[in-house]
Amino acid sequence: MPVLVMKFGGTSVATLDRIRRAAKRVGVEVAKGYDVIVIVSAMAGKTNELVGWVNETSPLFDAREYDAVVSSGENVTAGLMALTLQEMEVPARSWQGWQVPLRTTSAHGSARIEEIPTDNINRKFAEGMRVAVVAGFQGISPEGRITTLGRGGSDTTAVAFAAAFGAERCDIYTDVDGVYTTDPRICDRARRLDRIAFEEMLELASLGAKVLQTRSVELAMRYKVRLRVLSSFEEQSDTAGTLVCDEEDIMESKVVAGVAHSRDEAKMTLVSVADRPGIAAAIFMPLSEAGVNVDMIVQNIAEEGRTDMTFSCPIDQVKRAEQALSRAKEKGEINFHDLVADTGVAKVSVVGIGMRSHTGVAAKMFKVLSSEGINIKVITTSEIKISVLIDRKYMELAVQALHDAFELEKA
């Protein structure tokens, strides 16, 4: 029988009533003739509660025991979902990560999936099981310890299972009914997209869209897993939600597919750094080692033999960046006059695969921002994306103006 993967996020399984509603959706797909693999998250709020207990018990915790504790939320949901399906007379059983086994690296708290053998679950399908309910977010290390996959790990689990089992599709059930042209909380004219290309979704996810986790989209694009994002609170339909698919599966793409934003950004500038070969490596290696996620980078010549280096990073990593660069200065690895942090900025981006074959997108974007009196601090581009840093107070205005200018409300 064909395999379908269905993933239910924390809000979709937050209560027993919601688990029953999710189970009914699974039952509908079983009735259509699918063998179904259900990936579940912990009930909404449960993982944060477990993390809080760990921190309260042991602030300098053993990462292996941290994983043992925080992975338990998914185990509870998996068992409850399997019991609910059994009450509906749907042959189902729960699977923890080690039982599959979902094999991962040993990086506790942020492990990466290495292999998902299909033999155990396929054997049970052959024996009459119709639904395998798998605890998301978790696996087993080469040392035999429970591991967790980090933020958004259940999305990654779902896509990985779809790839391993050659699933017809991977349905991601969330509390939103699809992928929108921008955040509907900011722009009331935002429109749900019927389809979006993997590359566009990957850019939007990395630029601040919260619908799908970046790693899951990367995995889907690599293994050509068709993703469907839909709401567990809307009426069940074969045409609901947004399909994330190959560019070739989209008849005609608009030049710009969406506008993304990230509020929690900071701009950091090293003033008057020696302009010499290797200076960029001397700056960004310490930042990398400190775990600072650098995004936009701009280098300007300040005076002869000196340069200013500007980069952006998440606002909660500013102190880490300051410490890393100060230590590098103390060691004599770099020399700069000053380090200036601007924590009042936001990143706004336009994304679209149609930008490959159309000119003038950047000019139009900059003209729109200029007409609204919005000053651009930093610009970066890729083949299908243009991002700018602006003052945070203008972020919503910029998103709305760009959404209108590119007429994204129109199908």
CA 211 to chain centre: 7
The string of pLDDT tens digits covering residues 213-269 is 888 999 999 999 999 999 888 877 777 899 998 888 777 678 999 999 999 899 999
Binding-site residue ranges for substrate: 47, 74
Looking at domain 3-175, its CATH superfamily turns out to be Acetylglutamate kinase-like (3.40.1160.10)
Binding-site residue ranges: 7-10, 47, 74, 174-175, 180, 185, 210-211
The domain over range 259-405 is classified in CATH as 1.10.3720.10: no
Binding-site residue ranges for ATP: 7-10, 174-175, 180, 185, 210-211
Place of tokens 């994983």: 67
3-state helix, strand, coil in the chain (%, to 5): 40, 25, 35
Beta bridge partners of 268: 311, 341
Q: Note the pLDDT of residue 104.
A: 97
Name the residue with higher pLDDT: 123 or 209: 123
**Regarding beta strands 258-274 and 306-314, do their DSSP bridges make them parallel or antiparallel, or are they unpaired?**
antiparallel
Question: What does the domain layout of the chain look like in residue ranges?
Answer: 3-175, 259-405
Other beta carbons within 10 Å of 153: 27
Query: Residue 35 pLDDT > 70, yes or no?
Result: yes
> Is 94 in contact with 124 (CB distance < 8 Å)?
no
Amino acid identity of residue 168, one-letter, is E
Measured between alpha carbons, how far is 95 from 114 in angstroms, rounded to an integer? 18
User: What pTM did the predictor assign?
Assistant: 0.84
The string of pLDDT tens digits covering residues 288-321 is 999 899 989 988 876 677 889 999 999 999 999 9
